[in-house]
């Protein structure tokens, strides 16, 4: 089949979509090779879904390691601070255990865009998995040496930032439009499950053993992805058309709809290569609306996600639960509340995965943003009334109930959705740069909120901190209401042309 296809886009001249369909004509009769109709359905529908699900699960395992990176500090810091018979570390030094991984996110984002464009999505994930495992091993075998702990935390944070743009881009490019939302939402679920697993390990085990167990997640993910084909979109962008067609059919099957989408993708890249000499520089690319429009939307969306405080809770869960329950309470209650919050986060994200199959991205983002803002403002008001003496006895049922409501509504939309959409909104030729810059901005915001949270708790109190997060989320939600497009069940080409031409202007492909 592939011998009949030109090996480079430059060899294809003025080829059109109908001509591409003729080139692929020898694949159109493959269904006739099936012995029965049921066999054809199995080959053309069920097998591609299973393949997409398996490879997405490999990326999911990497996100478990990323979630462990976010969550392990909530266990590591208390154990280091209260270890008996061990060297006592300063509060400032211990605080860097939480912050250094978020600082490393920035450098991971810079690497991700370059590596995924130069080396491809598959090889980048394999390098990521190996580096991730090494970081967890360094932490696990640090033997209370703070410099080794910080090095290991920096490496795992680097990998977390590396995975940020890479995971959604890879999964988004291999997934069918009907399943893309589900698979991308599963990546956010993986973060939550990773946080829960790291907290669960650390509640019952020493932090060093918990770290080693977290290292098994990226190891298993790397083994799965070793057998994965490269992204067909990346192969097409590198003129490797033979491999692109084989990869596309492996992931997406041989149905007429799938072949039509493949033909359109190749034809679109053919047209773009005619002007490649004019669009080589980044300065030219950033002038294209299909780059700067999604960049502005995704950068703002990611910053909103950080300013709503979701990662502050992951990093300082134990201390925050003690504040909500009451400082005089038994510490075991705080750990139980932490695990309960983690489970609630996982359930909420699992529900979000299911809802994305039925509901659009835009209504979920608006709904989640509004109620996340309200829950944070309500929690801030309750804590303020208690601190000012209006409410004398703090009820953990009210404070934890408001926190639980916040966890539910934030994880139904505003927390997972930017990670879903960063793999959808950018055009193929700018996806690495665009997703890298977007996630780089969230890394900067991540570091800022995690590093400043302890000082904010001391200076303006927990109630003031929650109020700041709530008002920031409300402002961000207003922006999303006016700017966020709907991408549910749209092809990547349709999304690209929406930003290029606007709503149903100058293009028959636009339908957003």
User: How would you classify residue 389: left for phi > 0, otherwise alpha for psi between -120 and 50, otherwise beta?
Assistant: left
Question: Do the beta carbons of residue 168 and residue 188 sit within 8 Å?
Answer: no
Looking at residue 56, its pLDDT comes to 94
Crossing angle of helices 289-307 and 492-501, in 10° steps, is: 100
Looking at residue 87, its pLDDT comes to 57
Looking at residue 474, its pLDDT comes to 96
Rounded CA gap, 237 and 21, in Å? 19
Looking at residue 22, its pLDDT comes to 42
- Encoded tokens for 215: 């290292």
Write down the domain spans for the chain.
43-243+286-501
- Encoded tokens for 260: 């039509």
Spell out the residues 6+ positions from residue 390 whose beta carbon is closer than 8 angstroms to its own. none
CA angle 274, 241, 248 (to 5 degrees): 120
Looking at residue 270, its pLDDT comes to 64
Looking at residue 37, its pLDDT comes to 40
Looking at residue 507, its pLDDT comes to 45
Looking at residue 26, its pLDDT comes to 41
The continuous run of DSSP H or E covering 84 comes out as none
**CATH class in words for 43-243+286-501:** mainly alpha
Looking at residue 281, its pLDDT comes to 54
Looking at residue 27, its pLDDT comes to 40
Looking at residue 111, its pLDDT comes to 86
Looking at residue 355, its pLDDT comes to 87
Question: Do the beta carbons of residue 109 and residue 162 sit within 8 Å?
Answer: yes
**pLDDT under 50: residue ranges of the chain:** 1-44, 278-279, 506-512
Question: Do the beta carbons of residue 473 and residue 308 sit within 8 Å?
Answer: yes
CA dist list (Å): 511 to 233, 431, 486, 504, 505: 21, 21, 10, 6, 10
Rounded CA gap, 89 and 392, in Å? 36
The continuous run of DSSP H or E covering 75 comes out as helix 73-81
């Amino acid at each position: 089949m592939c011998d009949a296809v030109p090996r480079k886009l430059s060899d294809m001249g003025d080829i059109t979509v109908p001509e591409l369909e003729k080139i692929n004509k020898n694949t159109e009769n493959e269904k006739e090779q099936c012995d029965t109709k049921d066999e054809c359905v199995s080959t053309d529908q069920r097998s591609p879904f299973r393949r997409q699900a398996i490879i997405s699960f490999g990326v999911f395992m990497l996100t478990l390691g990323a979630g462990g990176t976010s969550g392990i500090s909530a266990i590591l810091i208390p154990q280091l601070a209260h270890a008996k018979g061990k060297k006592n570390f300063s509060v400032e030094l211990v605080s860097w255990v939480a912050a250094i991984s978020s600082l490393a996110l920035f450098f991971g984002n810079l690497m991700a865009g370059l590596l995924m464009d130069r080396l491809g999505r598959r090889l980048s994930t394999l390098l990521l998995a190996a580096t991730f495992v090494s970081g967890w091993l360094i932490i696990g075998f640090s033997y209370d040496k703070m410099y080794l702990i910080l090095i290991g935390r920096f490496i795992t944070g680097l990998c977390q930032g590396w995975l940020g743009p890479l995971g959604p881009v890879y999964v988004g490019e291999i997934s069918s439009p009907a399943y893309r939302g589900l698979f991308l939402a599963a990546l956010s679920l993986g973060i939550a499950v990773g946080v829960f697993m790291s907290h669960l390990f650390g509640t019952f085990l020493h932090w060093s053993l918990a770290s080693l167990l977290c290292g098994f997640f990226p190891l298993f993910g790397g083994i799965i992805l070793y057998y994965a084909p490269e992204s067909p979109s990346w192969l097409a962008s590198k003129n490797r058309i033979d491999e692109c067609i084989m990869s596309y059919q492996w992931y997406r099957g041989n149905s007429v709809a799938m072949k039509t989408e493949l033909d359109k993708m190749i034809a679109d890249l053919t047209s773009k290569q005619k002007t490649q000499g004019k669009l080589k520089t980044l300065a030219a690319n950033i002038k294209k609306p299909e780059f700067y429009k999604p960049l502005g939307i995704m950068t703002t969306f990611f910053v909103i996600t950080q300013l709503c405080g979701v990662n502050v809770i992951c990093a300082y869960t134990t201390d925050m639960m003690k504040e909500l329950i009451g400082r005089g309470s038994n510490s075991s209650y705080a750990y139980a509340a932490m695990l309960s919050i983690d489970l609630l986060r996982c359930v909420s994200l699992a529900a979000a995965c299911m809802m994305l199959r039925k509901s659009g991205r835009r209504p979920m983002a608006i709904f989640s943003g509004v109620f996340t803002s309200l829950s944070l403002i309500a929690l801030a008001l309750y804590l303020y009334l208690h601190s000012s003496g209006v409410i004398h006895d703090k009820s953990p049922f009210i404070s934890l109930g408001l926190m639980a409501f916040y966890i539910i509504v934030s994880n139904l939309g505003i927390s997972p959705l930017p990670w879903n959409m960063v793999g959808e909104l950018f055009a193929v030729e700018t996806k690495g740069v665009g997703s890298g810059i977007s996630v780089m901005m969230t890394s900067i915001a991540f570091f800022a909120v995690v590093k400043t949270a302890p000082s904010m708790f001391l200076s303006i109190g927990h109630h003031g901190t929650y109020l700041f997060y709530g008002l920031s989320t409300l402002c961000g939600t207003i922006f999303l209401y006016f700017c966020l497009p709907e991408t549910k069940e749209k092809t990547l080409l349709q999304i690209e042309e929406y930003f290029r031409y606007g709503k149903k202007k100058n293009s028959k492909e636009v339908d957003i």
